[in-house]
Amino acid sequence: MSLFDLTGRVVVVTGGNGGIGLGMAQGMAAAGASVSIWGRNAEKNAAALKTLANGTCEARQCDVSDPASIERAFNETLAKYGRVDGCFANAGIGGGGRSSFIDRPQSEWREMLATNLDGAVLTLQHAARHMRDRAGKGDAFGRLVATSSLASISGTARNEHYAATKGALNSIIRALAVELARYGVTAHCVLPGWIESEMTGGLFSNEKFVANVMPRIPMRRFGKPEDFAAVAVYIMSKGSSYHTAEMFLIDGAYSIF
């Protein structure tokens, strides 16, 4: 059997209907996993589902800034498949037009935390409870993953609320890796560099931005969603069971140049 055969595994990917999340979902579906992609936009969900390689995947409408929506989506996914082996808390919003910390309205701070932090934490919590219960029944296996950002390390001027959510995810994932190890659960963060997606579309069409940033990326290209397929498959594989609390930098060496 292939080291990376995910047949029989069930994986939730929030924000799986586009960008990085879809790249991960496509990789895992091609490796045989049943992937449940969650997003708010039904049309994006339907279009994304068509690109997944096997017929056991599904798309589900969920707004991760709403705790009731997460609970419903998780319970329905569980009812359909009977298990969830992996949970990729990837859904996120960027900072939009950057504005000063000094002037940041509470509403922006709250919206950012509700989606990028509360949404990820609640999703991971549902999955962790289920993984603990399953371990108690002799089926110990789980993978918890958060999509963080290089902003979690560097901070981001005029986008500090975004960076704060990602820094918090790094800390939480490390805590989960220790607390949940006894249940056969590993926990990781993926830290993307500059990646082509809906979130970065506006930025990457700005010539000045590209002229300044590209020379600082040793790989001399922006990342693409498909650059996240293989790392997701690796994380979900049985072979990575002793590898936990990793901060996977997927950035073309941007952060060390």
Residues labelled catalytic? 162
200 near ligand NDP (CB under 6 A): yes
Alpha carbons 34 and 136: distance in angstroms, whole number: 23
254 near ligand NDP (CB under 6 A): no
Task: Give the footprint of ligand NDP on residues 69-128 (CB under 6 A).
Answer: 90-93, 115, 119
CB 93 within 8 A of CB 119: no
Per CB under 6 A, the list member of 4, 6, 11, 19 interacting with ligand NDP is 19
Q: What are phi and psi of 83, to 5 degrees?
A: -165, 155
Alpha carbons 8 and 118: distance in angstroms, whole number: 29
14 near ligand NDP (CB under 6 A): yes
Alpha carbons 176 and 178: distance in angstroms, whole number: 5
Using CB under 6 A as the criterion, what x/- string covers residues 33-72 for binding ligand NDP?
Answer: ------xxx--x-----------------xxxx-------
Least separation in angstroms between CB 22 and ligand NDP:
7
Least separation in angstroms between CB 63 and ligand NDP:
4
Q: What are phi and psi of 104, to 5 degrees?
A: -65, 120
Per CB under 6 A, the list member of 4, 6, 18, 164 interacting with ligand NDP is 18
**36: helix, strand or coil:** strand
Size of the site for ligand NDP (CB under 6 A): 30
Tokens describing residue 145: 């993953």
DSSP 113: I
The two beta strands, 10-14 and 247-250, are: unpaired
Compare residues 99 and 181 and give the one whose CB is closer to ligand NDP: 99
Task: Give the footprint of ligand NDP on residues 133-192 (CB under 6 A).
Answer: 147, 149, 192
